[in-house]
Structure 1
Amino acid sequence: MKPHLPHRFVTSVVALVVMLGVTVALALPASPPSYAQADLSATRSLPPPRSHSYVALISDGEVSVDHQIFPDFASYFTSPFFRLTGKRCGTQIPHDLASLQADPSDCSLTRTGIQQEYWPNEIVYVIPTVFHIIYASDGTGNISDQRIQDQVRVLNEDYQALPGTAGAQGANTRIHFQLAGITRTMNDAWFQDEDELAYKQALGWDQSRYLNVYVNTASGYLGYSYLPQQQVPKVYDGVVMLYQVVGGRALPDAAPYDQGRTMVHEVGHYLGLLHTFEGGDCFDGYEAGDLLADTPSENEEHYGCTPSMTCGTPDDIHNFMNYTDDTCMWRFTLEQANRAVCSLVNYRSTLYNIGAVAVNQTPPPDRVQAGQPLTYTLTVQNTGQVALEAQITNILPSATLTYTLAGESRPIVDGKLAWTTTITAPGGIWSETLVVTLPLTYTGTATNVLEVTSLQGVTGAFTSVVTVGDAVRYQTFLPLVMR
């Protein structure tokens, strides 16, 4: 099996206060959660050593990596040195996979079992995410809050294949990342990614409940992570990112890794996904290679964007788990989504919160007479664990009819009524009463659709159909004596 070097990525950090060389400032939440302590029990081994590079900014944007000088980060990323030293990704995939824990077997490091229960329907897995910005004493690496927010937006666009975004063409994993906090720490040694255990012990939030993202030089890698199936102490859990490649689309001086997709790739490892070229040979099926069947077999990592065929079929140069340029990456496959959810459910069961809604209408009777008002009670209940920033749309029976919304005048656009609201969790309810007035001449069916979407990716809908018959025709009855 061909060895693959780990995934490491570097990120910039913002200065705050200095106390004994280390200062932590919480941006969110107001009261910090309890920090997790290292679990260094004998049943879990320390992670293997990872090659380390010293990264420094010189003058005029020049970058020094292990005393090799590059005009800028983009030149470093496209250099032979970058590829030959394996700095594209620092996640270490164990080679003796059979010796690792093999349960639950649906998504172990020896096989994948595609199961119906890992195809999420209308629920969304919401992962609280905290960024730890570790920067140098000269301020290098102290990236802005805006870049962190942009990075979270990219994660959600790509993991949820949001329509109208650069990630729209992929499979929706139904996984959403919610920014839970930002810490900032000035420490020159930690900025150089030295003593990983020390800075993760000091800074990490409870690894069983938060995705911890550490931003520093990542030892010259673009980034690295730990698989959930690996038997390493929990304190190591999380993602380490090179500060230069953290942010949104079109990052300056980061090409060809300038679209925020380094973190998409590394979080893929954090969720149990392997490289598309894993194993360095031509493998198919669920027990070799990347342990998935719907990712084409590929026997070597792919840089750049040029199509290739290393195993007789087109290599998946658009997959987030390859090594291609950020602009070429735009998809997870359906089976990668299934394996990621399996890894969450079986290995990180306390990490996520469920987002879900129940959508309902209490409609008029199944059949009504023309001219009779139709009264609908519209209800959306938050059945999940996170508050939802919801967009609620009611699509009325016909744009040519007239409508009134009981208790409130609402604009009707193209036959639709729209609301934006926050539905609290657990159990929060939004409800409105809608009265639809049909003309006397209207017959047929009246379809009313209530749809819900949310910033968290939670969706739901309810449709009701009412049959509208002819109006009652009144006849004049005269007493017999008058006939």
Structure 2
Amino acid sequence: MLLTKVVALSLSFASVWAAPSPPPQSSEVLEVENAFTASKTAPKFKSLKASAAIEVYWHVVSKNSSVAGGNILDSQIAAQITILNEAYSTTGLSFSLAGVDRVVNATWFNKVTDGTREQTEMKRALRKGGAYDLNVYSSGFVEDPRRLLGYATWPWDYAANPQNDGVVIHSGTVPGGDNAPYNLGHTLTHEAGHWVGLLHTFQGGCNGAGDQVADTPPEARPAFGCEVGRDTCTADRLPDPVHNFMDYSDDSCMTEFTAGQAARLTAAIATYRTQ
């Protein structure tokens, strides 16, 4: 579920796996953060609440016409948008479904993942809207050995490659999907967080500025399952943020964004994703 899970910030992807992966290097995070700080627009928090909802363009990529083959139901997509809005309700951010298109393409379903030729072909053919519009591609990741759940692009990478912008998720992670315990819709919650500039809560481990948000306690490594009460960075005497949407816990354990994360995504949207 992770941005850094893919490789590095400079690669423009934030990805999530069912298994841990190395976070970006501190030097890469520092470079991005310095540029973000230099160009940051910091509107008042209430201004995001007054802005238009982010329009979501959903692209269903399946290998055949069955739900098992990736052709998820309209009701599942609607439920996913509801889950997104509930998750982001404390941040002032909201989402509205702008459209759904369906493509049966077994090659894309099997082969699309970060950096592949098939991903480029898919996005060139299907992507809609601008920087403030969220394109979601649900697919299968069949040939990706990492058990990938999803990945996202960063807001600061939009200007250089707008066609690449968006989030790709495993079709089984939507509400009612077959990818338990990640089938309540929070893979998209997590990946959308990367899309608006949030890092993993475990970024940087116990040292340094971590995820660049002051009110998320540091943690040494990702949380899985629902490790309530875990404290991997004992110096701060605070439990790890295992309920945070930007950790790796099971969907049923994820319940919150912090006020600091809300402020960060507000600034990132104002800086990189203007309407």
Q: For the structure 1 residues 94 and 225, does the alpha-carbon distance in structure 2 shift closer, same or farther, using more than 3 Å as the test?
A: farther
Structure 1 residues 58-69: aligned runs within 5 Å: none
Structure (1 or 2) with the greater strand fraction: 1
Aligned partner of 1:304 among 225, 233, 239: 225
Residue type of the alignment partner of 1:175 = L
Which residue of 75, 80, 84 corresponds with 1:151? 80
For these two proteins, the number of residue pairs brought into alignment is 253
| 1:325–1:235 Cα change, 3 Å | same
Q: 1:289 is matched by which residue type in structure 2?
A: G
Provide closer, same or farther for how the CA distance between residues 221 and 335 of structure 1 changes in structure 2, counting only shifts above 3 A. same
- CA gap of 1:180–1:126, structure 2 versus 1, over 3 A, is same
* Structure 2 counterparts to residues 50-199 of structure 1, below 5 A: 82-83=18-19, 86=21, 93=24, 96-100=28-32, 102-105=34-37, 117-120=44-47, 123-137=50-64, 139=66, 140-160=69-89, 172-192=90-110, 193=112, 194=116, 195-199=118-122
More helix by share: 2
Give the Cα–Cα distance (whole angstroms) in 2 for the partners of residues 120 and 295 of structure 1. Answer: 23
Work out which structure has the larger RCO, using CA pairs closer than 8 Å and 6 or more positions apart in sequence. 2
SS in 2 for 1:179: strand
Q: Is the 8 A contact 1:101 1:229 kept in 2?
A: no
1:257 partner SS:
coil
2:163 is the alignment partner of 1:238: no
User: With structure 1 as the length reference, what TM-score do the two structures score?
Assistant: 0.48
Q: Corresponding residue for 1:290?
A: 211
Q: Which residue of 1 aligns with 2:136?
A: 213
Deviations 1:325-367 (CA, angstroms, capped at 9, x unpaired): 11111100001011111111110002xxxxxxxxxxxxxxxxx
Deviation at 1:263, TM superposition (A): 0.6
Report the structure number with the largest CA radius of gyration: 1
How far apart are the structure 1 equivalents of 2:189 and 2:38? 23
CA drift at 1:229 = 1.9
Partner of residue 340, structure 1? 265
Deviations 1:155-189 (A, max 9, x none): 011111xxxxxxxxxxx111110000001011111
How far apart are the structure 1 equivalents of 2:85 and 2:214? Answer: 25
C-alpha distance in 2 between matches for 1:94 and 1:146: 40
Task: State the TM-score, normalizing by the size of structure 2.
Answer: 0.82
Alignment partners' CA distance in 2, 1:176 and 1:239 = 16
Identity between Structure 1 and Structure 2 (%): 34
Structure 1: runs of 5 or more not aligned: 8-44, 52-76, 161-171, 351-483
**1:47–1:268 Cα change, 3 Å:** closer
2 CA distance for matches of 1:225 and 1:273?
11
Q: Tell me by how many angstroms 1:46 deviates.
A: 7.0
